[in-house]
Amino acid sequence: MAGFRLLVGLGNPGAEYEDTRHNAGAQWIEALARMSQCSLRSEKKFFGQFGKVFIGGQECYLLIPTTYMNLSGKAVQAVCQFYKISPQEVLVVHDELDIAPGTIKLKKGGGHGGHNGLKDIISKLGNNRDFGRVRIGIGHPGHASQVASYVLKKAPSDEYQKIEQTIDESLRYHQDIVADNWNSVMNHLHSFKA
């Protein structure tokens, strides 16, 4: 079957992390759930907020791990095992330091680029890197030593708006993204700038 069955938005749980740069992936899934009129519920066996939704006639699972970021793979692994989902059918939405706020990129496979959520998912999927990624640009603080505090802070309002616009724009194409019709949307999304 073509397309992604499990859509995962990365972030940290708790009010203090809401709307921080590191939670951009979770925001994307929350927005998709609202659009699809799907209520995400806390699901202990999946270590996260979980929901089922039909996108383009296909049943998909939405997941926001409620483990901390560096344990995201535990939640992804639990859902994959339960529903027999292969790594190739997983789409992970996450914040990306290497691209500017207001930009978004789609990618399949690759390394973790130092992202602790991706690192844990890769290891829990048996070192399989073949899942899809929606990378939401948050920009880089300029020095590696500043990354940890930078991702856990809220972006200034102009940057935050750009991140939100990027999420909104990409969600206009959510059916193509989920169905893996990336060729039709990649050119537009990769050249989009909020």
Say which amino acid occupies 15: A
Binding site feature residues for tRNA: 17, 68, 70, 116
pLDDT of residue 33: 97
Can you give the pLDDT at residue 43?
A: 97
Catalytic site residue from 22, 94, 115, 174:
22
Task: Based on the residue annotation, tell me whether 22 is a catalytic residue of this protein.
Answer: yes
Q: How high is the pLDDT of residue 116?
A: 94
pLDDT, position 184: 83
CA distance 10 to 138: 14
pTM: 0.96
Which pLDDT belongs to residue 151? Answer: 94
Domains observed in the chain: 6-191 (3.40.50.1470)
72 and 117 Cβ atoms separated by less than 8 Å = yes
Helix (H, G, I), strand (E, B) or coil at 145: helix
Beta bridge partners of 90: 6
Cβ(97)–Cβ(151) under 8 Å?
A: yes
Give the pLDDT means over successive 10-residue stretches in the chain (194 positions): 89 94 97 95 98 94 96 98 96 96 95 94 93 96 92 94 96 95 90 91
Contact assessment for residue 95 and residue 136, using Cβ atoms and an 8 Å cutoff: yes
Question: Residue 1's pLDDT is what?
Answer: 45
The Cα 82–Cα 74 span in angstroms is 12
Q: How confident is the model at residue 85, as a pLDDT?
A: 96
Q: Say whether 112 sits in a helix, a strand or coil.
A: coil
